[in-house]
Structure 1
Amino acid sequence: MTGDKPWPQVPVTNKSHTEAAVVIIGGGISGICTAIDLIKRNNCKNFIILEKSGGLGGTWRDNKYPGCCCDVWSHLYSFSFEQNPDWTREYPGQEEILDYLTGVAQKYELYRYTRLNTAVESAYWDDATKKWKTTVSVQGGKDAEFGSSYTLTSDFLVSAVGQLNVPRLPDIPGLDEFRGKLMHSARWDWSYDIRSKKVAIIGNGATAAQIVPEIAKEVGHLTIHQRTPNWVIPRLDTPIPSWKRALYRHIPAIRWRKRADMMDFRESFYDAVFDHSSTTAQLIEAQSIEHMHRQLPDRPDLWERLQPKYAVGCKRVIISDDYFPVFLQENVKLETRKIDRITAKGVVAGGLEEEYDLIILATGFRTVEFMHPIEITGSGGRNLSSVWKEGGQALYGVTVESLPNFAMLYGPNTNLGHNSIILMIEAQSKYINTLIKEVLHVRQKGGSLVIQPNPERIQDFNEQIQSELENSSFADPNCNSWYKIKDSGKITNNWSRTVVEYQKLLSKLDWSDYDLSGAGAERVANKHTTYIGRVVEETRISYQTIALTALSLAAVGAGVALRHAGRLRLP
C-alpha cells in the first residue's frame, strides 16, 4: 500500500525498481495503446514500458528519411479515442505523426512509466514463481552507470515491438566491403550531405518511393535498383485548410463521419486482395496503368519495366503522385539487372560495375522473425524459436503456445494490406487487457493465475487462416514480399479477413480457448465468455438516411413554425 491506493494502482517506485505487475516491451503505437488501456480499463499504474531508443514513437521515431510519411489518411491513422482535428494534410508526414504520438503519451503521463534507452535482451517464464523474468541492458551512458543490466519480475508480459522494428540488410555479397557511405532507410544519417553525390538506392518499395522523389532533386546522379516493379496509384494528397480543421475541432460528428467514410473506403480494398477478378482489383490495375502512362507519356520502354506481372496486393500497393515522374529526370537511372555483388567502390549489376558515393538500403525489416533478437523462453524451458520453428503463429495473432501470461500486439497474421493497422491494434489492446485483468485480480488476493492458449485451438485457428490466405494475392508465386517466409512461402504476417471481422472476433474472450491453472482458474473458466465490445467506426447510417432525416426534421420544424404563426394571427 502507498497512501490510500492499493496495488496495482501504485506506480513502480525506486524501492520496487525491478518489480511490476505488467511489463510492456516497446514504446510505439502498440505500447502506447496498451498502456493507456491499462490505466483506463484496469486502473493499473504498476507497469513499465521498456523502450530501447531514446524516445517514444516506435517506427515513427526510427524512420526519419526524406519524404517519410504514411500511406493511410491521417484521420484514420490515429487512435479512435484520441482523434486529432488539427492534421495539416490528408496524409501525415513522419514528424507530424511523431508529434501526435508524443502528445498522446504526454496527455496520459506515460513518460513516468517509461524506461528509455533500455533494450530487452531476454525474457523467461519461471514455472516455480509463475512470473516473467525480463533481463534488460541499459544503453544510455549515464544511466548505465547506475547499472548496465538488471532483471525485472512481472505477472504479465506484453510484446509491443511490432513487425517493422529491426532493419533487414540485403543478402548481397560484399555489402561490408563498400568504402563509401552506406545507410539503411530506418537509420538515416542527416549529417551526411547528399548534394551532388552519386547515389544508388537498393529497393523500390513504399519506402524507396518516398525517398526517391526527394533526393532526386539534390543528388548529382541516382540509380534505382529495382528487383520487382510495384502497382502505383495516385495519392492525391492535399493540405487541410484551417476552416476544415475548425469544423473537425468544433463538430466532432463531422470528424467521426469522415473517419467512417475513410474506413469504409479502405475496407473495400479487401476485395482486390482476395479476388483478383473483382471489380476493385481490375480498377486498381487500370488506375495504376493509366497513372503511369499519364505521368510517363510516350515511354513504352519504361512502361514495360515498371508494370508488375503479379496480382494486385501481392506486394503493398504504393500510393504516390511523384514517383513515376522521377524517371524522366536526366540524373535518374532505372536499373533492373540483378545485383551481382557490392565492391569497395560501388555496385556490380549484370557484370558491370558502377561507382557510388552513397548506397541507400531501402530493404525493409526482419518482419517474419517476430521479436528478434530477444530470447524468449516459456513454460517448461521451451524457447520461442522451437515453438515457431515453422514460422510465427498465435491465437488471433495475440497469444502464443507455451508462453503463459503473455500477449503480443501486431503479431503473426495481423498485418493489413488494405486498411489502418491502428484499427487492429486497438482491438488487440482491449483483448489483452481483459486477460491482464484476471491475472491482476488474483494477484491482489495473494494468488497466481496462469493463462495459456490451448495448443489445439491455436493449430485449428492457424490452419483456417492459412487456408484462406492460400486464395489471396499474398500467395501469388510471381512475387516475393515481406509478408511471407522466403523458403516455404508461408504467409506469417497478414490477416486473411476484413478489419471489422477481426474487431468482432476480439470483441469477446472465450475462456475455453485457454488452459487455466492456479488460484481462481475455476472461477474464470466458469465465466465461459467475457464480452469486451468494440469501437464501431464503420458507417452505420447512409448519407441518404441522413438527408431524409434532415428533410423530415426540417418539415416538422416548418410545420411547427406555421402552426405557431397561425396562432399568432388569430383574433
Structure 2
Amino acid sequence: MKPSVAVIGSGFGGLAAVIELKKQGFDDIVVFEKADEVGGVWRENTYPGAACDVPSPFYSYSFEPNPRWPHRFSRQPVILDYIRHVADKYDVRRHIRFGTEVLGAAFDEATGKWTVELSTGEPVVVDVLVSAVGQLSRPALPAIEGRDTFGGTSFHSAQWNHDVDLTGKRVAVIGTGASAIQFVPEIQPRVHALTLFQRTAPYIIPRPDREFSARHHRVFEKLPVTELAERGTWYGVVEGLSLAWVYAKPLAAAIRAVSKWHMRRQTAAKPGLFEKVWPDYAIGCKRILFSDNYLPALAEPNAEVVTERIAEITPTGVRTADGREHEVDVIIWGTGFKTTEFLAPMAVTGIGGHPLTEEWREGAHAYFGMTVPQFPNLFLMYGPNTNTGGGSIIYFLEAQAKYLGRYVAHLAATGGALAVRREVEKAYDARIQTELTSSVWSQCSSWYRQADGRITTNWPLLGIQYKKQARFDPADYEVMAR
C-alpha cells in the first residue's frame, strides 16, 4: 500500500512534510494552498521592516543551508525567496494546487479515508490528512467597542495596505508585539504623529544583527563547516533562552539585567519613557524581542506611548479610559494572531462524526502536538504545544516531519488507519500541562494562553528534549479501520 496524502498549507511546515514524505518514497501527495504562491506567514506578512527574530543560519532547514544569507536576521523578502527556492529544488510545486482553500474534512470509518471539502467544489479522498496551517495564519482583532465606526483607514499589520501613504499622517498603532517592534521604526520618520497604544510592554534585548559580506558568502560556500558552526552557535544561544525560562533562574535574571540596561539606555532621550515601556512581569512570560531601533523611534518628538486602556474606537480616532480622544487618520492593528484556534475555521470531523471543535472544547491538545484520539490518520504540523519560547520553530518542524515519515511508512507496511490511544495522549497532555503550570508562561497573560489560563501553544522544555521524545512508536496507536 502506498498511502495518499493531502497537506494543507505550503509554508515551512507544509514543505517540510512533503519533502520528508518524498524522501521516504511516497509521491501520491497533494498540497492545498489557498494563495497563489508558497510561503505561509512569510508570504502574508509584508509590513515594513518584516524580519525574523531568529538568526537565519538556524531559522532554515538543516538539510538545505543557505550560504548566501545577506543578513544574520533575514528580512521577509529573502526568507520568502528561500522558501520558493526550497519548493523548486525539492520538486514540491507539482504537488500544489494553488488557489484552493480547504473548508473541511471528514473521516469515513467504512473506507478508512478522509474526504476533503474544497473551495473549488469537488471533494478529494485521501488516506492521510496533514494540516500545516500553523499558529500564526489568522490575524486577530480585539473586541473593542466601535472598532468598525472609524472613518479613516485601518488595517492589520499582517494585511498591510501598501496603497496607503502614511507620509504626514497621524497614525495610531494598537499593540506592541513582534510585528509592531519591527514596523514602528520604519514608519515613525515619515508620519506626522505616531501614537502607540500599549497594553503590555515587551522585554527588549539588543539585536546582534550583521550584514554578511561577499567574503562571508565565499567562506560559507567553500567551507560548509563554517556555516554549520554558525548554525550550531545560534542553536546554543536560542536554546539558552529556553534553558533560562525552564531551568536556570539566574540566567533569566542576567538576561533581565541586560534588557533593563539596553532599554534604559535607549529611552534616555525622553524623560518618563523608560517607566512606560519597562515590563512589570517575569521575563520570559512573553516572547523576548530583539531590537535596536524600536525604542529610539518612540523617543522621537513625534511619537507618544499611551498606556491608558482603550475605551472605544470613534469615527475620528481612539478614546482612552481617561476620556481623552486621540484623533488619527490611520489605525494599524499590531495585535497578533488567533494562535489558540488551531485548524479554524475548517470543519473537521473524526470517528462517528465527532467534531474536532468538540474534542478541543476545553483547549487544543495532541500527542506531541501531532495526533489526536478518534481522528485517525490526521496529522498536525506546528500543532498544540509545539511552539518554542526561545528557539526556531523549523527545528521542531523537522522533528515532526521525521515522525510523519515513519508514521506513513508504518501505514504503508500494515494498511489501515491509526489513531493515537486515548490513554497515551491523555497521559502525555497531563505531563505537559503540569510542566506548563509551573512554568514562567503561567505568570502573565499572553498569546501563549487561552482565556481560562490553559497554555495550548508552547512546548515547556528544551528543543532537544522534544526531538528526542517525539519518536513514532506503533504501540502508541490503535487500528481504527482497515
What interval of TM-score do these two structures reach, taking the shorter chain for normalisation? over 0.9
1:192 pairs with 2:164: yes
CA contact (8 A) 1:155 1:439 kept: no
Alpha-carbon offset, residue 207 of structure 1: 0.7
1:116 pairs with 2:98: yes
1:449 pairs with 2:432: no
Q: Which residue of 2 aligns with 1:88?
A: 70
Aligned amino acid, residue 34 of structure 1: A
Per-residue CA shift, 1:193-249, capped at 9, x if unaligned? 111111001000111000100000111111000001111000021101111111111
Q: Which residue of 2 aligns with 1:97?
A: 79
Alpha-carbon offset, residue 75 of structure 1: 0.4
Q: Which residue of 1 aligns with 2:401?
A: 429
Rounded to whole Å, the distance in 2 between the matches of 1:255 and 1:274 is: 28
Rounded to whole Å, the distance in 2 between the matches of 1:55 and 1:92 is: 20
Alpha-carbon offset, residue 261 of structure 1: 1.3
Rounded to whole Å, the distance in 2 between the matches of 1:129 and 1:32 is: 28
1:40 pairs with 2:32: no
1:54 pairs with 2:32: no
Rounded to whole Å, the distance in 1 between the matches of 2:392 and 2:16 is: 15
Aligned amino acid, residue 146 of structure 2: G
Q: Secondary structure at the match of 1:407?
A: strand
Aligned amino acid, residue 236 of structure 1: P
Q: Which of 291, 305, 324 is 1:334 aligned to?
A: 305
Q: Superposition pairs for residues 359-398 of structure 1, below 5 Å?
A: 359-398=331-370
Q: Superposition pairs for residues 515-534 of structure 1, below 5 Å?
A: 515-519=478-482
Alpha-carbon offset, residue 46 of structure 1: 1.1
Alpha-carbon offset, residue 298 of structure 1: 6.1
CA contact (8 A) 2:110 2:481 kept: no
Normalising by structure 1, we get a TM-score of: 0.83
Normalising by structure 2, we get a TM-score of: 0.98
Alpha-carbon offset, residue 51 of structure 1: 0.7
1:292 pairs with 2:263: yes
Q: Which residue of 2 aligns with 1:494?
A: 458
Rounded to whole Å, the distance in 1 between the matches of 2:103 and 2:400 is: 24
CA contact (8 A) 2:109 2:481 kept: no
Alpha-carbon offset, residue 332 of structure 1: 0.5
Q: Which residue of 2 aligns with 1:69?
A: 51
Rounded to whole Å, the distance in 1 between the matches of 2:284 and 2:449 is: 13
Segments of structure 1 that go 5 or more residues without pairing to the other structure are 1-6, 9-19, 138-147, 443-447, 520-571
1:274 pairs with 2:269: no
- The change in CA–CA distance for 1:89 and 1:167 in structure 2 (over 3 A counts) is same
Q: Secondary structure at the match of 1:153?
A: strand
Rounded to whole Å, the distance in 2 between the matches of 1:495 and 1:169 is: 25
Rounded to whole Å, the distance in 1 between the matches of 2:268 and 2:450 is: 38
1:236 pairs with 2:175: no
CA contact (8 A) 1:225 1:334 kept: yes
Q: Secondary structure at the match of 2:296?
A: helix
Rounded to whole Å, the distance in 2 between the matches of 1:419 and 1:100 is: 19
Aligned amino acid, residue 113 of structure 2: K
Q: Superposition pairs for residues 145-294 of structure 1, below 5 Å?
A: 148-275=120-247, 278-294=249-265
Aligned length: 481
Rounded to whole Å, the distance in 1 between the matches of 2:244 and 2:280 is: 15
CA contact (8 A) 1:21 1:440 kept: no
Q: Per chain length, whose mean CA-contact separation is higher, i.e. which structure has more relative contact order (CA < 8 Å, sep 6+)?
A: 2
- The change in CA–CA distance for 1:518 and 1:124 in structure 2 (over 3 A counts) is closer
Alpha-carbon offset, residue 491 of structure 1: 0.5
Alpha-carbon offset, residue 300 of structure 1: 5.1
Q: Which residue of 2 aligns with 1:480?
A: 445
Find runs of 4+ consecutive structure 1 residues off by over 6 angstroms: none
1:509 pairs with 2:480: no
Alpha-carbon offset, residue 299 of structure 1: 4.7
RMSD of the alignment, in Å? Answer: 1.3
Aligned amino acid, residue 145 of structure 2: P
Q: Percent identity?
A: 40
Q: Which residue of 2 aligns with 1:309?
A: 280
Rounded to whole Å, the distance in 2 between the matches of 1:439 and 1:453 is: 13
Per-residue CA shift, 1:468-512, capped at 9, x if unaligned? 111211000xx31110102x1000000011010111112x32222
Rounded to whole Å, the distance in 2 between the matches of 1:227 and 1:518 is: 50
Q: Which residue of 2 aligns with 1:445?
A: none
Alpha-carbon offset, residue 518 of structure 1: 4.6
Q: Which residue of 1 aligns with 2:324?
A: 352
Alpha-carbon offset, residue 309 of structure 1: 1.0
Alpha-carbon offset, residue 253 of structure 1: 1.2
Q: Secondary structure at the match of 2:122?
A: strand
Per-residue CA shift, 1:418-475, capped at 9, x if unaligned? 1101000000011012111222345xxxxx4110001111111011111111121100
Alpha-carbon offset, residue 274 of structure 1: 2.2
Rounded to whole Å, the distance in 2 between the matches of 1:300 and 1:346 is: 26
Aligned amino acid, residue 225 of structure 1: F
Alpha-carbon offset, residue 192 of structure 1: 1.2
Rounded to whole Å, the distance in 2 between the matches of 1:39 and 1:467 is: 37
Per-residue CA shift, 1:22-53, capped at 9, x if unaligned? 00011100000111111112x12211110111
CA contact (8 A) 2:376 2:480 kept: no
Q: Which residue of 1 aligns with 2:427?
A: 460
Q: Which of 29, 34, 37 is 2:12 aligned to?
A: 29
Alpha-carbon offset, residue 517 of structure 1: 4.4
